[in-house]
């Protein structure tokens, strides 16, 4: 497995990562994991690989864009001294372009998204053993859907950033698309953005496969 024994893994992102975590809980304490993929990752690492003694810290915040991540990066990443970091951000950067027009919100352009992502990676890569880039995703197979097209644009930026800095890229969208070949998004989400428990299992499995958790030997 890619995570070394006794490692600290910080998982940062938006509401998909947050998933109801207790902001007042101690890192890796009761209530700190939320009810989503971070909790499932922690459950699998703790239950299936107890000898590894991995500490998992959830630093997702509802509604965040990459601009918000930048503003809290020092406190929620650097100050926690992670050995490993996973980042999944981008859906709100896109979504606000579709649901924020009447609020006249200042949206995150592709250029800002790319520049900020790269700046955060440059700052953080020397301080950690590895960073896992998880793609933003949208639960819609129709690639002509305007929001699906826009999410793909931002996911491609994340992919290129991962390649530029030689970091693992977890294509969550591909996992979602594979699922949608069999069943409707109604089974894993109410709004095509926020997964339910089966949807979060897809995300968790994608991450755990990337780090090399050996499911069949447990």
Q: What distance in Å separates the CA atoms of residue 144 and residue 158, rounded to the nearest whole number?
A: 21
Torsion angles phi and psi, residue 70, rounded to 5: -55, -40
User: Could you give the number of structural domains in the chain?
Assistant: 1
Average pLDDT for residues 198-218, to the nearest whole number?
Answer: 91
Strand partners, 195: 189
Residue 55 is assigned to a structural domain of this protein: yes
How far apart CA 161 and CA 141 sit, in angstroms, is 24
CB 159 within 8 A of CB 169: yes
Q: Supply the pLDDT for residue 212.
A: 96
Quick one: pLDDT at residue 191?
96
- Decide if pLDDT at 218 tops 60: no
Catalytic residues: 15, 191, 194
pLDDT tens digit string along 132-146? 999 999 999 999 999
Number of residues written out for the chain: 218
List pLDDT tens digits, range 88-112.
Answer: 999 999 999 998 777 777 889 999 9
Residue 2 resides in a domain: no
3-state secondary structure 43-102: HHHHHHCHHHCCEEEEEECCCCCHHHHHHHHHHHCHHHCCCEEEEECCHHHHHHHHHCHH
The answer to whether 90 touches 60, Cβ cutoff 8 Å, is no
* Average pLDDT for 27-36: 97
Q: Which residues contact 119 (CB under 8 A, 6 or more apart)?
A: 70
> What are the structure tokens assigned to 117, written together?
């992502």
The answer to the question of residue 12 being in a domain is: yes
CATH code for the domain in which residue 173 is found: 3.40.50.1110
pLDDT digits (tens, 9 = 90+) for 3-28: 999 999 999 999 999 999 999 999 99
Q: Coil, strand or helix: which one is 182?
A: coil
Query: Does residue 29 lie within any of the structural domains?
Result: yes
pTM of the model: 0.96
Q: Look at residue 123 and tell me if it is in a domain.
A: yes
Please, what is the average pLDDT of the chain? 96
Would you state the pLDDT for residue 101?
Answer: 74
- What is residue 94's predicted lDDT score, i.e. its pLDDT? 97
* Domain ranges, residue 135: 8-217
In a domain, 30, yes or no: yes
The span from the CA of 99 to the CA of 119, in Å, is 27
Contact between 193 and 95 (Cβ < 8 Å) = yes
CA atoms within 13 A on the CB side of 2: 17
């Amino acid at each position: 497995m890619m995570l070394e024994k006794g490692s600290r893994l910080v998982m940062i992102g938006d509401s998909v990562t947050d998933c109801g975590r207790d902001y007042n809980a101690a890192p890796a304490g009761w209530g700190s994991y939320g009810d989503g993929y971070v909790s499932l990752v922690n459950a699998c690492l703790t239950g299936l690989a107890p000898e590894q003694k991995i500490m998992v810290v959830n630093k997702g915040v509802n509604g965040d864009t990459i601009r918000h991540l930048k503003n809290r990066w020092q406190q929620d990443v650097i100050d926690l001294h992670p050995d490993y970091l996973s980042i999944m951000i981008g859906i709100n950067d896109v979504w606000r372009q579709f649901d924020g027009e009447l609020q006249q919100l200042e949206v995150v352009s592709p250029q800002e998204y790319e520049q900020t992502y790269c700046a955060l990676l440059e700052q953080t890569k020397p301080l950690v053993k590895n960073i896992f880039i998880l793609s933003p995703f949208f639960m819609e197979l129709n690639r002509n859907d305007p929001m699906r097209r826009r999410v793909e644009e931002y996911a491609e930026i994340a992919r290129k950033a991962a390649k530029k800095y030689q970091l693992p890229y977890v294509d969550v969208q591909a996992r979602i698309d594979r699922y949608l070949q069999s069943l409707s998004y109604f089974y894993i989400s109410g709004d095509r953005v926020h997964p339910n428990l089966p949807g979060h299992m897809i995300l968790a499995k994608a991450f755990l496969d990337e780090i090399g958790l050996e499911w069949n030997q447990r």
